Each structure stands twice: as C-alpha cells, then as structure tokens.
Amino acid sequence: MTPIRVLIVDDHPVVRDGLRGILTSDPEFDVVGEAADGAEALAGARAAEPDVILMDLRMPGVGGVAAIRSLAEVDIPARVLVLTTYASDSDVVPALEAGATGYLLKDAPREELVRAIRAAARGEAVLAPSVASRLVSQLRAPEQATLSDRELEVLRLVAQGETNRGVAARLFISEATVKTHLLHIYTKLDVNDRAAAVGAAYERGLITPRAD
C-alpha cells in the first residue's frame, strides 16, 4: 500500500516533532515536509505534493485559514485537516468555509488522529466531537446563524449588481470561492437565489442600500 503523504504545519517545533514521531512510527504514513506558517505551507505543498496537510490555525505571519484559502485558489489537491487548540465558531467556521476537509483538536488521542488522517486522505469530512456538536446546534437554530465578514462583503457586491466574476475580481478570490460563499449565504438566510438573499439581507439589516 502506498503511504499517505503528510505535510505538518505548526509554528511550534515541539508540536511538529511530536506529530512527526507519531506518524513516522507507522508505515502507513510518510511525512514529506514541515512548515512553520501558512506561506511555508503553500511552498511545501507545491514542492512535496502531500495527500494530507495537518494545519494549525493561529500562526505568525500567514495563518491557517489564509493558507487553506490559498491552497484552494491555486488548485493544490491536498486535503487539509485542521489540528488546533481552538474550537470556537470564529475559528471553526472560517476554516471549513475556506476549504478544510476536517477539524481536529490537539488533545485528540493518537488513534483518533490516525483515523482522521486516513479519512481525510479519502476525502471524507472529519470533525472533532465538540466541533460537530457546535455545528449541529447551529443547524438546529438557523435563525441565529450569522454571516461571516467575507460573506457580507460578497453579499454587498452582489447587491450592487456584481456578477460572480466581478465579485471575484473585487475581492481577489476565485469564482469557485464566490460560489461557495453564496451557497453558505443561501443556507444561512434560508433562500434559494441571489435576489432573495439580497432581499433577506436588507430586511434583517445585514446590509444597507448604498447612498448614491
């Protein structure tokens, strides 16, 4: 069986050493590189072509969410499994929206980490139990769902008449990313199209008409 190629991204050398020790002891995995921030992660992914990237979120310089977004925008096919200490909505939602395949916490047992990497390599979504519970709670209370700052930016531009291509150009993101943001907006606002999303956003005060 071909080993799963793993790139480890974390700004703490001790954490990287620990993860490398866990993975190199198992012939199922091949650690093909390490990175200390998002910029190094992008360069390492291009050079090493990993199957799975273990990505910390809060790092100096380029953070994890920005790195995940960049990896998606340049079409690097590696699956990103977030491995972090933080489980707040402000960390989880942006990471998943940026394109992370899974989200695991650093206190996870070794066996859970290994299973998560295997699942991520197969393209399966992986969520820490506490993270999954938070997301389920949000789905059960859609009226409390809030739009992220980037979703609001997208929606404001849509309200101004921009096409997906125009929004992408204005925000320096791909059209695919714009479409993803719009799908999340539709879900959160419980609508089916752009016009309804804009109307719902005006009604809720999420955006206001531009003064000409």
CATH number of 100's domain: 3.40.50.2300
CA distance 167 to 153: 9
Pair 117, 157 in one domain: no
Range of the domain at 181: 143-204
Q: Return the structure tokens found at 44.
A: 């390492």
In a domain, 31, yes or no: yes
Phi, psi of 102 (to 5 degrees): -155, 170
Contact 86, 65 (CB under 8 A): no
Domain-located, residue 209: no
Confidence of residue 87 (pLDDT cuts 50, 70, 90): confident
Look at residues 121, 140, 159 and tell me which one is the last residue of a structural domain.
140
Q: Where is the domain boundary, 113, 140, 167? A: 140
Q: Nearest Cα to 72, choosing from 157, 175, 165?
A: 175
Residues 6+ apart with CB under 8 A from 202: 159, 208, 209
> Is 163 found in the same domain as 126?
no
* Tens digits of residue pLDDT in 48-77: 999 999 999 999 999 999 999 999 888 888
pTM tops 0.85, yes or no? no
- Residue-wise pLDDT tens digits, 10-24: 999 999 999 999 999
pLDDT digits (tens, 9 = 90+) for 127-183: 988 888 767 665 554 444 588 999 999 999 999 999 999 999 999 999 999 999 999
pLDDT at 145: 58
Percent of the chain whose predicted confidence (pLDDT) is above 70: 93
Collapsing DSSP to helix, strand or coil, 40 comes out as: helix
